[in-house]
Structure 1
Amino acid sequence: MSDAIISLSGASLTLDGNAGRVEILHDISLDVAQGETVGLVGPSGSGKSSLLMLLGGLEQATGGTVSVLGHDLTSMDEDQLARFRRDHMGVVFQSFHLIPTMTALENVATPLELAGVVDAFDRARAELEAVGLGARMDHYPSQMSGGEQQRVALARAAAPRPAILLADEPTGNLDGTTGEAIINLLFGLRDRHGSTLVMVTHAPDLAARCDRVIQLRDGRLDATEATS
């Protein structure tokens, strides 16, 4: 795919477990185009989250290549990968990973400050307004509902205006109504920033909103299907 900004070729992942070496992913070849929204689906243990971790450089492939925005992630060390994520990616997890001693505003602004963004707090305020938390900026995570905490996590992921958004079951800890609101916000952030979105989900209705659905089974690509 000529306009691919994510490209995997023969990528595999093998990790050391208590019972020895465990093969997690096998010979994954996959291209994702700029601006595309891709849903990763499959049964529990199929390798969906592990594949997302490869795309984000949170795990390094033990075979094959993983290229993102023209950079080979398999050749980078941990510090280089962290800087690359900071500059080009936003990541949203099922668990919110907020810093409990920081307010919502500080949780969103601090990564921007570390990246040297001059208007870090102004940008953080704008992103929190965009997810409907204008009145909750000075609240701490313990003072917020699960849905509000996930909104903070979305704002934090979107604030750097990343080329790529990665989401791992972003509604997994939320009730149906709150989860739907979070997904609408996530797709809205994608549209506002023109990001490519790759998302792990178990929800068929959510997968159907993606441009393409990729099925994994036993650590292998099982099928891929355009949804529109």
Structure 2
Amino acid sequence: MTALSLSNVSLSLQGNAGPVDILHDITLDVADGETLGLIGPSGSGKSSLLMLMGGLEQASAGTIFAAGQDLTKMNEDQLARFRRDNMGVVFQSFHLIPTMTALENVATPLELAGVKDAFARAEQELTAVGLTDRIDHYPSQMSGGEQQRVALARASAPRPKILLADEPTGNLDATNGNAIMDLLFDLRDRHGATLVMVTHSHELARRCDRIVRLRDGQIDTTKAAA
């Protein structure tokens, strides 16, 4: 089974001097349960490709199927509902709500999805990332590593089919970064999700099943991780 399927996908954005081509003719399949590392130099289109996979950017051409659904035919509301029900997204910046506790940050998307035991499940996920003692703390009371753990718990709590991570360790030191990566792969294993991760770290990419390297908005190489 295929979790993600991109066919002849391109992305152009309007700049001050006219359209800017970001991605060109990307064709890529990601299998159910696979872990895929996206690498390449800055500006190669890694994050843009991840955003297309999550329906956070609209492709200029081509088709994108995720969990069997054609994202390119959905409007913004449909895409938002699809992400809520099928995807977890972890960003380099944590995007936590500052006026909510860790527990509330994780429980809120579950409540919006109509999950009856939202707070119990949120507490379970926070425990899984080692934050049992921090559930009542606000983001400003937590370190960067702790905030990213909350973001991981929030992304995994709905038990998504697909987990997308954009430089999840980019704002962290090496120790916290390694801990976050261990947790990310653990969450993937516990929920059986497909994981696609953008990273500049070849060491982290090698933990994936397969590595895709982008250059100048195109797939340069794809290979099994060492």
Query: Under a length normalisation based on structure 1, what TM-score does the superposition of the two structures give?
Result: 0.98
1:102 partner amino acid: M
1:153 and 2:151 matched: yes
Query: 1:18 deviation in Å?
Result: 1.1
Match of 2:203 in 1: 205
Identity between Structure 1 and Structure 2 (%): 76
TM-score normalised over the length of structure 2: 0.99
* Separation in structure 1 between the aligned mates of residue 10 and residue 181 of structure 2, nearest angstrom: 30
Instruction: Give 2:172's aligned residue.
Output: 174
Deviation, structure 1 residue 88: 0.2
- Which of 218, 221, 224 is the aligned partner of 2:222? 224
Question: Structure 2 CA distance, aligned partners of 1:11 and 1:79?
Answer: 22
Distance 1:227 1:98 in 2: 32
Distance in 1, matches of 2:67 and 2:149, equals 27
What residue is the counterpart of 1:126 in the other structure? 124
Cα deviation for residue 209 of structure 1 reads 0.3
Uncovered stretches (5+) of structure 2, i.e. residues with no partner:
none
1:24 corresponds in structure 2 to 22
State the 4+ residue runs in structure 1 displaced beyond 4 angstroms.
Answer: none
After the TM superposition, which residues 127-142 of structure 1 pair with which residues of structure 2 at under 5 Å, given as runs?
127-142=125-140
Please give the alpha-carbon distance, in whole angstroms, between the structure 2 residues aligned to 1:202 and 1:168: 10
Partner of residue 89 from structure 1, selected from 78, 87, 90: 87
Tell me the residue number matched to 2:108.
110
Q: Give the drift of 1:5.
A: 1.6
Name the Cα RMSD after superposition: 0.5
Which AA in structure 2 matches 1:48? K
The aligned residue for residue 187 of structure 1 is: 185
- Output one character per residue of 1:171-199: Cα deviation in whole Å (capped at 9) or x when no partner: 00000000000000000000000000000
Q: Does 1:66 align with 2:86?
A: no
| CA distance in structure 2 between the partners assigned to 1:119 and 1:19 by the alignment | 51
Match status 1:11 vs 2:9 = yes
SS of aligned partner of 2:132 = coil
Aligned residues: 226
Q: Deviations over 1:119-155 (max 9, x none)?
A: 0000000000000000000000000000000000000
